[in-house]
Amino acid sequence: MADEVILLDFWPSMFGMRVRIALAEKGVKYEYKEEDLKNKSPLLLQMNPIHKKIPVLVHNGKPVCESSIIVQYIDEVWKDKAPLLPSDPYKRAQARFWVDFIDKKLFDSGRKTWNTTGEAQENAKKEFIEIIKTLEEQLGDKPYFGGETFGYVDISLIPVYCWLHAYEIYAKFSVEADCPKFTAWAKRCMQKESVSKSLPDQKKVLGFVAELRKRFGLE
C-alpha cells in the first residue's frame, strides 16, 4: 500500500522548511498544500484543532503537528535511509537540547530585529548575534552539528538562513561579518539539494517581511 503524505505549509515558514528538508532527505514523495494563514483551510483546522498552525504532516490521514515532533516522526518512520538523529542516547539528548534551544530563543529574537525600532531593535540585534555565537561554539570545527553528517540540529537551524537577509537589512548588521563559522556552515548546508530546494529565495522573504512591516505600521 502506497503511503499518502500531505504537508500543510506556508512558504516563508521556517518551521515548514524543516519538514520539507526532512522529507527530501528521506526521499519521501508528498503533496505540498499551501495554506493562506488569513483564511485557514477546513483541513488545517481539522488536522490541528488545538493550535491551528502549520506545518502539519498528514500521513495516511493521521496528523502530526509541531515541526520538531514531525521531523522526529519522519526519522522514525522512514528509518532505512539518511538517519537524522544520532544513534547514541547521549548524542541524541544533545541534539534535542540544541533544537529546543533554537526553538526557545532564535525565532523570537530574529523577529524582533525587524518588528521593533530604536533601542529594542539594537538589543534584538545583539541578542540574535549572541544566540548565533552560542550555536557556533557548539558547532566547533565539525562540518555539521551532528558531526560528519547533516542531521536534526542542522535541519532545525538552516531555515533561518533565508531570513537573515531581511534581518540584516532592517537591523543593519551582517551575520557573516560577526559569525563567519556559522555562515560557512550555512553555505555548506545550502550545497545539499534537500536544503536548497526547500528554502525560498532570500529576496522573496525580504519582500514578505516588508509586507508584514507595512501591516504592523512599521513602514
Partner 1 sequence: MHELCSHRHSTENITLIKKAMAKSDVKLLGAWPSPYVMRARIALNVKSVDYELLEETLGSKSDLLLKSNPVHKKIPVLIHNDKPICESLIIVHYIDEFWSSGPSILPSDPYDRAIARFWAAYLDEKWYPSLKGIASAQGEEAKKAAVDQVGESLALIEDTYVKLSKGKPFFGGEKIGYLDIAFGCFLGWLRVTEKTSGVKFLNEAKTPHLAKWAVRFCADPAVKDVMPETEKLAEFAKLLAKFRAGPPK
Least Å distance, CB 130 to partner 1, is: 11
Interface with partner 1, residue 2, by CB under 8 A: no
User: Using alpha carbons only, what angle is made at residue 42 by residues 39 and 44, rounded to the nearest 5 degrees?
Assistant: 85
**Which residues, 6 or more positions from 169, have their beta carbon under 8 angstroms from its beta carbon?**
206
Interface with partner 1, residue 25, by CB under 8 A: no
Least Å distance, CB 138 to partner 1, is: 10
Interface with partner 1, residue 107, by CB under 8 A: no
Interface with partner 1, residue 30, by CB under 8 A: no
Measured from the CB atom, is 37 or 93 closer to partner 1? Answer: 93
Binds partner 1 (CB under 8 A): choice among 37, 45, 93, 120: 93
Binds partner 1 (CB under 8 A): choice among 70, 153, 158, 175: 70
Binds partner 1 (CB under 8 A): choice among 61, 89, 140, 217: 89
SS3 string, the chain, reads: CCCCEEEEECCCCHHHHHHHHHHHHHCCCCEEEECCCCCCCHHHHHHCCCCCCCCEEEECCEEEECHHHHHHHHHHHCCCCCCCCCCCHHHHHHHHHHHHHHHHHHHHHHHHHHHCCHHHHHHHHHHHHHHHHHHHHHHCCCCECCECCCCHHHHHHHHHHHHHHHHHHHHCCCHHHHCHHHHHHHHHHHCCHHHHCCCCCHHHHHHHHHHHHHHCCCC
Binds partner 1 (CB under 8 A): choice among 33, 96, 126, 133: 96
- Per CB under 8 A, which region of 63-71, 111-119, 172-180, 191-199 contacts partner 1? 63-71
- Residues 114-153 interacting with partner 1 (rule: CB under 8 A): 134
Interface with partner 1, residue 46, by CB under 8 A: no
Where do contacts with partner 1 occur on this chain (CB under 8 A)?
A: 50, 59, 62, 64-66, 69-70, 72-73, 76-77, 89-90, 92-93, 96-97, 100-101, 134
